[in-house]
Structure formats: C-alpha cells, structure tokens
C-alpha cells in the first residue's frame, strides 16, 4: 500500500512536469514547425500515462500494461490523426459559418461548440473503436500469439461500448471537453487534447471494470 501511494505521487508529479514542458515556448515552437511529430510525441507520452491510470483502476495496483511500446505507438498515430482532424473540422466550421450554413459567425463559443459536436459525432466513434480494437488485440496477444484482429473484434462487448463510451461519454464529457479545447488558441489545442487522453484512460479503466 505504501509503495502504491509513492507510485501514485510519482505519476502525478511526472504528469505535471510533462504538461509543463509541452506548454513551454521552445516546445510550442517545435510543435509549430513540426506539428505532426509534436502530435505523435504528445499522445505517445500523455495518453500512455492514461493507460497506466486506467489499468490502475482496473487492477487495483500499479502494473505495466502489456505491449506498452506498441500501445504507445498506436496512441502516437492517433495523435498525428488528431492534428489533421482538428485542422479539418475547425476550418470546415469556419467555412460553413462564412457561407451562412451554420449560424453565429464571429462567435468563438459557437465556433468551438459546432466544431466539437461535428467532430465527436463523426470522427470520435471511429477513433474510439479503432483504439478499442488495437488495445484488445494487443491484450489478447499477451495470452495467445496466434490471435487475429477478427478475434479482437469478436472479444469486444460492443453493446457496452456503444451504450457507455459512445452514448454517454461523447455527449456528457467529450463534446463539452472539446468545446473548451477549441476555445483555446490553436497552439494549445492538441496539448489539451493529449492531456484529455489521461482522462480517456480513466474512462476506459472504468469501462473495463464494468
């Protein structure tokens, strides 16, 4: 129990330090010049911490996730896609408002809210399902090296996935959270999204417990 508390404090301190580093001018400059590399790095590190936390909730003690590097690499790829998706949806909403297809042009809150809704109702379920499949596949491979992606798809409790992850977390958490994300200056959006990966780890840990 004492060791568990020490590790919890260390995780908290390391997470705070990493978030401090990625909000510094030198890293923001790096992110501006190499946005895809920066997006990969942020999610590789911060979302992986979320995996640690999720496993802690599920198991009741700190353990190293199976295939840690492979899972972190998947998070990194998701980070690259997030950088692209943020640009696509934010630019798309600006265009739709300029064309009077969406209302309240010039309102930062309306822009952020519309962007969050469109992104979370279209892209988010696909991203979450992709991550669920890859995560399940790697977990199953730790027990059986001959596992296929079909086995991973069949192993997932899709009813629970849609009833909890999609139908509850998207409207109750992700849409409000990403509305805040798009209220931030552009250079902070992916950083904030990566930090939300830690929250995703908590949510997935609760989901796995169920």
Q: Positive or negative, the Cα torsion across 80, 85, 86, 87?
A: positive
- Tell me the range of 6-10, 73-77, 146-150 where mean pLDDT is highest: 73-77
Residue 26 C-alpha from the chain's centroid: 23
pLDDT tier for residue 18 given thresholds of 50, 70 and 90: low
pLDDT tier for residue 45 given thresholds of 50, 70 and 90: confident
Provide the angle, in degrees to the nearest 10, between the axes of the packed helices 186-209 and 35-42.
Answer: 30
Q: What pLDDT was estimated at residue 171? A: 94
pLDDT above 70 as % of the chain? 81
Q: What is the mean pLDDT of residues 101-124?
A: 97
Distance CA 82, CA 39 (A): 7
Q: What is the mean pLDDT of residues 56-85?
A: 86
Q: What is the mean pLDDT of residues 165-190?
A: 91
Q: What is the mean pLDDT of residues 75-85?
A: 94
User: Over 80: is that where the pLDDT of 166 sits?
Assistant: yes
H-only helix segments in the chain: 2-22, 25-33, 35-42, 48-59, 68-98, 108-141, 149-155, 158-160, 175-183, 186-209
Do 14 and 6 meet the contact criterion of CB atoms below 8 Å apart?
no
Q: What pLDDT was estimated at residue 19? A: 63
Distance CA 57, CA 208 (A): 9
Q: What is the mean pLDDT of residues 60-66?
A: 76
Poorest-confidence range of 14-28, 50-64, 86-100, 116-130?
14-28
Provide the angle, in degrees to the nearest 10, between the axes of the packed helices 186-209 and 2-22.
Answer: 160
Domain residues of the chain, as ranges? Answer: 2-209
Q: Which residue has the higher pLDDT, 180 or 21?
A: 180
pLDDT tier for residue 192 given thresholds of 50, 70 and 90: confident
Q: What is the mean pLDDT of residues 69-96?
A: 95
Phi, psi of 45 (to 5 degrees): -90, -55
pLDDT tier for residue 145 given thresholds of 50, 70 and 90: confident
Q: What pLDDT was estimated at residue 33? A: 87
Do 116 and 181 meet the contact criterion of CB atoms below 8 Å apart?
yes
Q: What pLDDT was estimated at residue 2? A: 52
């Amino acid at each position: 129990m004492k060791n568990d508390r020490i590790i919890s404090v260390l995780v908290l301190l390391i997470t705070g330090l990493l978030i401090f580093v990625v909000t510094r001018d030198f890293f923001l400059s790096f992110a501006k010049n190499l946005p895809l590399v920066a997006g990969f790095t942020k999610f590789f590190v911060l979302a992986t911490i979320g995996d640690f936390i999720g496993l802690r909730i599920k198991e009741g003690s700190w353990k190293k996730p199976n295939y840690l590097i492979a899972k972190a690499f998947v998070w990194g790829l998701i980070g690259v896609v997030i950088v692209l998706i943020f640009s696509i949806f934010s630019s798309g909403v600006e265009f739709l408002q300029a064309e009077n297809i969406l209302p309240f042009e010039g309102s930062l809150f309306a822009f952020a809210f519309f962007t969050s809704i469109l992104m979370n109702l279209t892209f988010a379920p696909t991203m979450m399902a992709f991550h669920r499949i890859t995560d399940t596949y790697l977990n199953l491979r730790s027990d059986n090296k001959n596992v296929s992606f079909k086995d991973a798809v069949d192993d997932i409790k899709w009813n629970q996935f849609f009833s909890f992850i999609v139908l509850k977390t998207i409207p109750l958490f992700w849409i409000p959270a990403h509305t805040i994300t798009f209220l931030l200056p552009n250079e902070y959006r992916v950083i904030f999204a990566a930090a939300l990966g830690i929250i995703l780890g908590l949510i997935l840990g609760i989901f796995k417990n169920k």
